[in-house]
Amino acid sequence: MEKSDKYQWKYCSLGGAVRVDIQSGEDIARLGELDPKLWTIHSCPVDNVIFDKETLTIIDNDNDGRIRLDDVVATAQWVTSALRNKDLLLRKESEIAISEFDEQSEVGKLLADSARALLEKEGVEKETISMEDIEKFREGVADRANAAKEAAVIKAELASPFGENTAAAVEACNALRDKVADFFLRCKLVSFNEECRSAVDMSIDSITSVGNASLSEHGEVIAACPLARPDKGSLLPLNEGINPAWQAPMAKMKALVLDAEFPGAEAITEEQWNAVVSKIDGYLTEKAAIEASGAELLDGSVAAETALVEPLHKFIRLYRYFYEFLHNFVSFSELYGNLDNCVVNAGKLLIDQRCCELCVNVKDMSQHGEMAALSGMFLIYCDCVERVSGEKMQIVAALTAGSIRDIRVGKNAVFYDRQNRDWDATVTKVVENPINIKQAFWSPYRKFANWCSTQINKFASEKEGKSMDKLQGSVDSSVSNMQAQAQNPAQPAAGAPQNKAFDIAKFAGIFAAIGMAIGFIGGFLVDAGKAFFSLPWWGMIVAIAGLMLIISGPSMFLAWSKLRHRNLAPVLNANGWAVNTAIPINVPFGKYLTHMSSYPIGHFNDPFAEKKTPAWKKWLWIILVLLVAAGVFLYLTGRLAAFIG
């Protein structure tokens, strides 16, 4: 495909990105002239597209499981060549007037003639053809094809020589056909020359070669020996004298065939065996002829009807769905216009008082590593199980609003697919990225608080463990001492405490060190407070703002940068798509993708509600902490300036 400068394409802005806007049937007809670099999608796997499956199969011209740019262009040229007015494709209708086919073109002429013939066969007089008409006719064709096949099968069964056991009987005879023929040939050689017996009978050397090994492990050696011992009488024994490796197949064939043909026989001749083989071969020949006649019937009538209806089926599917598909392939506009029609949106995830509107099926979790993380979005991966059928699948949901405090691996949620089926969902992986600037502002404090909580819990747990160990050790030691004293009262128990002199100098040094530390901290805080409160009121505000900027500034800048570059393309690329350009998820659109819960504002009487701390007290504590922090900041910067000076 080469770019043409003659045709004037239209453009639009979607999520902050410029896209080609398909606005007319002529645009569709000229897709082959559109620069490939301007397409949003270059290829996608058929099984990862949430769209009408029959239409996807039609667009996938080479049936390789992927829809590529060339497939879309070829489909566009075919469907537009059939219409007098190409803009009809924009209506996305399921019925078309036969007069709208362009009978000057080969495709249009074929479709118009097929539509008239179909309506005539159905005995319907009208000037339009619909998807319902076509699907009804296709169902009739399928029914007639199945009826023809069933008739052929029934006819073949009527000619079965062994009744309902014919198929098993044929299989049993064919399994022994070569071995029985080999047996009779050996008998003929013995009859011709008695001295041949040792050569054509079971070879002792072949058994001897196995040696002391288990014969059950060398079944192929035994199976290679004759079916029975050849004799010039040329009689095949049916009950005794059969090679052990072939006894089971022989017993099966005898029960299904030979007992019916030769009741009570202990052995059969070659002529009798050949009669059985001839009977089976005749049945197989007749069966093949019957099936061929059924296939001929199918080719002669049903296949002709299939050839009549399939072009119409292809057209009506494209007439209804192709324009919608293009919006998901050329520009990806359905993501921003109507999520329910977006071919990657699998449904909605309800989690933590929120509804995540954008969820994508995950086909291979191993591919969703660094690629998906490059999206810059907060992603929630879930294992889902359909409540009724037990069907399983994996999804990834984009969380674009609200708090992330309670989002964690193992959390349960509910997923609703595009058919509104209810799935149990469990979070299996979380890819953390900023959701908004407000969250980024508090992120350092939240992380610090979590770190402090973790350290305190860890310290408390360690102390508790040490205390328990010490207590258990003391108890064990006391018990041992008591037992030792009971046995030998004159001797002190092992490990008994001994009187030691009190080292006053040591304790004095410890208290002195503690006092110096407290004095230093106190002096530091006093100096910091003096430095802060010596500032004018506006200086205090600047100091507090400067401190907050130092703490939260990097986090906010990183969040601002990532929010501006959130992109769905890496998630789709991890699913096997070839996305040609960014699919931005900007801040305004992100708010649309995640809906928060809302409750009515008012006073509700709750006798068990906890008393809330007044807002002014909360802010007072925050201001005090910030004042102290600002004083520390000024003190340190003053000391640093003095040191440098």
Tokens 């921003």 belong to residue = 336
The residue among 241 and 615 whose pLDDT is bigger is: 241
Task: Specify the pLDDT at position 482.
Answer: 65
pLDDT given at position 640: 47
Residue-averaged pLDDT of the chain: 81
- Residue 370: the pLDDT is 76
Q: How many helices (H) and strands (E) does the chain have?
A: 21, 17
pLDDT attached to residue 405: 78
pLDDT at 614 over 80: no
Q: CA 247 to CA 239: how far, in whole Å?
A: 9
Report the range out of 205-209, 319-323, 352-356 with the highest average pLDDT: 319-323
* 16-39 pLDDT, tens digit each: 889 999 999 999 999 999 999 999
Domain boundaries, the chain: 10-147+310-337, 163-268
Asked whether residue 11 carries a pLDDT value surpassing 70, the answer given is: yes
pLDDT value of position 522: 54
Question: 161-191 burial by CB neighbour count: b if 16+ within 10 A, else e?
Answer: bbeeebeebbebbeebeebbeebbebbeebe
Tell me: the pLDDT tens digits for 224-279? Answer: 888 898 888 889 999 888 988 899 999 999 999 999 899 999 999 999 999 999 98
Q: What share of the chain is helix, strand, coil (3-state, %, to 5)?
A: 60, 15, 30
Judged against a pLDDT cut of 80, whether residue 586 lies above it is answered with: yes
DSSP SS3 for 270: helix
Amino acid at 41: I
pTM above 0.75, yes or no: no
What pLDDT shows up at residue 113? 95
Confidence label for 435 from pLDDT (cuts 50, 70 and 90): confident
Q: What's the pLDDT at 2?
A: 46
**Structure confidence at residue 605 as a pLDDT band (50, 70, 90):** confident
Please say if the pLDDT value at position 283 is more than 90: no
CA dihedral 475, 481, 483, 486 (to 10 degrees): -140
Structure confidence at residue 194 (pLDDT): 83
pLDDT for 643 equals 47
pLDDT of residue 337: 84
Q: Which two tokens stand for residue 148?
A: 């023809």
Give dist(CA 401, CA 378) in Å, integer: 9
Residue-wise pLDDT tens digits, 566-585: 899 999 999 999 999 999 98
The answer to whether 379 and 398 have CB atoms below 8 angstroms apart is yes
Instruction: Classify burial at 505, counting beta carbons within 10 Å of its beta carbon; exposed 0-12, middle 13-18, buried 19 or more.
Output: exposed
What's the pLDDT band for 217 if we cut at 50, 70, 90?
Answer: low
The per-residue pLDDT for 502 is 46
pLDDT in tens, 65-110: 999 999 999 999 999 999 999 999 999 999 999 999 999 999 999 9
Using CA atoms, how far residue 604 sits from 426, 598, 607, 610, in Å, is 33, 15, 10, 13
pLDDT surpasses 70 at 496: no
148 band by pLDDT with thresholds 50, 70 and 90: confident
Q: What is the mean pLDDT of residues 609-627?
A: 70
DSSP letter, residue 216: G
C-alpha 268/C-alpha 272 separation (Å) is: 6
pLDDT tens per residue, range 443-471: 666 666 666 666 776 776 776 677 677 76
Name the strands in the sheet holding 578-579, side by side, starting at the edge strand that comes first in the sequence: 66-68, 41-45, 578-579
The pLDDT confidence band at residue 4, using thresholds 50, 70 and 90, is very low
Looking at residue 433, what is its pLDDT?
83
Max mean pLDDT among 457-461, 480-484, 551-555 falls in 457-461
**Region of poorest pLDDT, from 50-64, 170-184, 415-429, 624-638:** 624-638
> How much is the pLDDT for 632?
64
The pLDDT of residue 197 is: 81
For the segment 120-145, the average pLDDT, to the nearest whole number, is: 91
Confidence bin at 173 (pLDDT 50/70/90): very high
pLDDT given for residue 85 in this prediction: 97
Which one has a higher pLDDT value, 547 or 139?
139
The Cα–Cα gap between 52 and 188 comes to 69
pLDDT of residue 50: 93
User: pLDDT for 348-404, tens place per residue?
Assistant: 999 998 999 999 999 888 888 778 878 888 999 999 999 889 999 999 999 988 878
Average pLDDT of span 636-642: 55
Percent share of the chain, pLDDT over 70:
70
Quote the distance between the C-alpha of residue 643 and its chain's center.
Answer: 62
158 contact partners, CB below 8 Å, separation of at least 6 = none
